[in-house]
Structure 1
Amino acid sequence: MNINETIQRQLAHKTIRAFKPQPLDPTLVTQLVDVARHTASSQFLQAYSILSIVDPAKKAAIAKISGQPYVADNGHLFIFIVDQNRNRQIGHEKGQDKNLLGSTNKLLAGLADATLAVQNTVNAAESLGLGTVILGSILNDAQQMIDLLDLPTLTFPVLGLAIGYPDQTPQLKPRLPEKFIHFTDTYQLPDPLVPELADYDAQVHEYYDLRDTNRRVDTFTNQVKRSLMNQSGKRSELLHILHQQGFLNDEQG
């Protein structure tokens, strides 16, 4: 099988959580944003925006929300948001104030746009020898994030992305084998499933046992089991906050 440099790099993807104290050059930040801007977009509505967080106090506040100190200590911090507010403003200025921008459909489109832009940015950053960590942890307190960033209605923070010069070399984390995530024509998991995952559980157990930092002996299926009823802290408020931001309102008009 012929694997080019791009595929080799993506297959070797590692999350970086320790960065050298070196900020990204502004021209590099602009280049990464340009890559994000050229990402595929649902219906070409480009329903997302990107915030660069450069204020040290705001970075520290986001790190506190996330519970992860490396959110404040990196080369650059982006926050990607669903943004239907811009399209609302365009509609208003074009004389169209009735809209369905708060609908489930429009929220999912914005989520897809923002998430794809994050991954494109990650690919570009890693091609330049930079390290990245995608931050779902910004939703540990979504309302505080919204207030901190002064986000209007019809916007919602989706993911953070910390980028910088790596100051660690973590091991490669084992991923689910293809047969558990790639099917042909129909969805077809083995039944029973857990015994089929025994070899993968052993690989994950070995990874946690041998990795350089944050040693934790665990298995994949045990992690899944613990997650089934785990909704920590203020994440239970996400539906309410989405409604407050004007989303999931399919009767809006």
Structure 2
Amino acid sequence: MYINPLIDQMLNHRSYREFKDLAVEEEKIQALLEVARHTATSVGLQWASLIRVKDPEKKRALAYIGHQDYIARAPEVWVFVADGYRNAKIAEEKGAPSPYAWDVNFFAQALTDAALMAQNVMVALESMDLGGVFLGSILNDPDRLVEVLDLPQGTFPVLGMLFGYPDQAPQKKPRMDMAFRTFVDGYEDRSPYLKALADYDEEMQTYYDLRDANRRVDCFSDQVVKKIGTMNLKRNRLTKVAKDQGFHLYEEGPDPSVKA
């Protein structure tokens, strides 16, 4: 397999949740912001923004939402946001308010932009001897998150991230073979899966997640059963919260005769 320094860095990605009591230098922060700025964006409209959470009270609020105390201790806490507000305001200021500004098409573009920005920032920070972790847990209570971050209509939080100088040495988490996730010209049903994934199930049970370092994790297939078999009521409000934030998440889109 072809390897260069960047690929080697990416293949050795780990999730860090505990950090040294050291601030990240401002020159590194500015470099990461430039990486975020230059991330690819759908139709050039730059639908993603980020919020750098510095207020200790807001950090604690995010830690409470995510049920993860270490969020409050992290040197850097960033939240990547799907942002349709800015473009809607630009159109409004140009005298051309649009009923389509926050439709499902642009919502999907904004979600993609925010996710791409977050991944680019993670790759960049790891090249600086920093470490981090993505935070899907900030969406455990999306209503409260919108309130904590003062998010206006036309915006939606997508993903959080912690980073700093690592103060732990986590294992690299095993991944299943790409033979189960790579197809040619169309999706292929590779079932039955349990027998084929038996080795991966066994490998997963050798992994220690430092969030609960005293026990090994469940095998992958058991994790699937546990996680998709449990309903998270607040996370199931994500579509409702997106609608409350002004996005038109319905099939036909807004009536073009109705002004935004």
The interval holding the TM-score normalised by the smaller chain is: over 0.9
**Conserved 8 A contact 1:170-1:212:** no
1:251 is the counterpart of 2:257: no
**Cα displacement string for residues 114-143 of structure 1 (whole angstroms, at most 9, x for unaligned residues):** 000000000000000100110011101111
Aligned letter for 1:251?
P
Runs of at least 4 residues off by over 3 Å: 208-212
CA contact (8 A) 1:48 1:110 kept: yes
Please tell me whether residue 159 in structure 1 is matched to residue 159 in structure 2.
yes
User: Residue by residue, what CA displacement relative to the aligned partner does 1:223-245 show, whole Å, maximum 9, x if unpaired?
Assistant: 11112232324112212111101
Instruction: Please say if 1:101 is aligned against 2:101.
Output: yes
CA displacement at 1:58 relative to structure 2: 0.7
Shift of 1:189: 3.1
Number of residue equivalences: 253
CA distance in 2 between counterparts of 1:212 and 1:236 reads 26
Aligned to 1:35: 35
Structure 1 residues not aligned, in runs of 5+: none
SS at match of 2:120: helix
CA contact (8 A) 1:103 1:251 kept: yes
Task: Give the aligned residue type for 1:136.
Answer: G
Which residue of the partner structure matches residue 150 of structure 1? 150
Q: Quote how far apart the aligned CAs of 1:98 are.
A: 2.2
Distance in 1 (alpha carbons) for counterparts of 2:147 and 2:214: 32
Instruction: Name the residue aligned to 1:184.
Output: 184
Match of 2:234, SS?
helix
Instruction: Spell out, residue by residue over 1:164-203, the C-alpha distance to the aligned partner (whole angstroms, 9 max, x if none).
Output: 0000111111101010111111211322122111111011
Residues 97 and 57 of structure 1, relative CA distance in 2, 3 Å threshold: same
Instruction: Give the whole-Å Cα distance in 1 for the aligned partners of 2:53 and 2:209.
Output: 35
The 10-residue stretch of structure 1 (233-242 or 111-120) with the greater mean CA deviation from structure 2? 233-242
State the secondary structure of the residue aligned to 2:189: coil
Residues 206 and 216 of structure 2 are in contact (CA less than 8 Å); yes or no, is this contact kept in structure 1?
A: no
Identity across matched positions, percent: 43
In 2, the alpha carbon distance for the partners of 1:212 and 1:84 equals 38
- Once residues 3 and 72 of structure 1 are traced to their aligned partners in structure 2, the CA distance between those partners, rounded to angstroms, is 37
Taking the aligned partners of 1:28 and 1:99, their CA distance within structure 2 comes to: 40
Provide TM-score, normalisation by structure 1: 0.95
**Which amino acid letter does the alignment assign opposite residue 30 of structure 1?**
Q
Query: CA-to-partner distance for each residue in 1:21-71, whole Å, 9 max, x for gaps?
Result: 112122221211110111110101110111111111111111111111121
Q: Post-superposition shift, 1:208?
A: 3.8
- The alpha-carbon deviation at position 213 of structure 1 amounts to 1.8
What does the per-residue CA deviation read over 1:143-172, in whole Å, with 9 as the maximum and x for residues that have no partner? 111111111111011111111000011111
Q: Matched residues in 2 for 1:193 and 1:96: separation? A: 53
TM-score by length of 2: 0.92
**Using the alignment, how far apart are the partners of 2:231 and 2:21 within structure 1?**
34
Task: Indicate yes or no: 2:67 matched with 1:67.
Answer: yes
Asked if residue 199 in structure 1 is aligned to residue 202 in structure 2, the reply is no
**2:202 is matched by which residue type in structure 1?**
A
Distance in 2 (CA, whole Å) between partners of 1:61 and 1:108 is 27
Deviates more, 1:31-40 or 1:214-223: 214-223
Contact 2:66-2:138 within 8 A present in 1 as well: yes
* Matched AA of 2:230: N
Per-residue CA distance 1:56-114 (angstroms, 9 max, x = gap): 11111111111111211122111110000000000001111123122111111000000
Residue 213 of structure 2 aligns to a residue whose secondary structure is coil
Q: Which residue of 1 aligns with 2:220?
A: 220
